[in-house]
Amino acid sequence: MIPERSGLIVWINDIKSSRVLERYGTVHYVSKKMHYVLLYVDAVKEKKVVQDIQKLPFVKKIEKSLRNEIKTEYNSNIPDKTRFYTI
């Protein structure tokens, strides 16, 4: 069974320190230009990990990713108009 994961966006001062975040979860993406790291952690351990990461000296702020709250199943009530444009 796959554990429930939650995403954290961690804003950092320098890119080299992003390697330290690998011990807290799975680093999915590192933005060199905007200086943030997308980190996935277990949902059960999320609060503990956020507290530990905030104590690090190179972390500016932490945001919770809202990807789990976005609706990904779409309803197609609109009729398909491509059948009207056949040759």
CATH number 3.30.70.80 is the correct assignment for the domain at 5-69: yes
- Contact (Cβ atoms closer than 8 angstroms) between residue 51 and residue 11: no
87 pLDDT above the threshold of 80:
no
| Residues whose CB falls within 8 Å of the CB of residue 30, separated by 6 or more in sequence, listed in order | 15, 18, 36, 37, 38
Q: Compute the distance between CA of residue 42 and CA of residue 36 in angstroms, rounded to an integer.
A: 19
- Indicate the pTM of the whole model: 0.77
Question: What would the two tokens of residue 26 be?
Answer: 């799975």
pLDDT value of position 37: 96
Q: Compute the distance between CA of residue 40 and CA of residue 68 in angstroms, rounded to an integer.
A: 12
Domain ranges of the chain: 5-69
| 4-32 mean pLDDT | 94
- For 35-79, how does the pLDDT look when each residue is reduced to its tens digit (9 = 90+)? 999 999 999 999 999 999 999 999 999 999 988 788 877 777 777
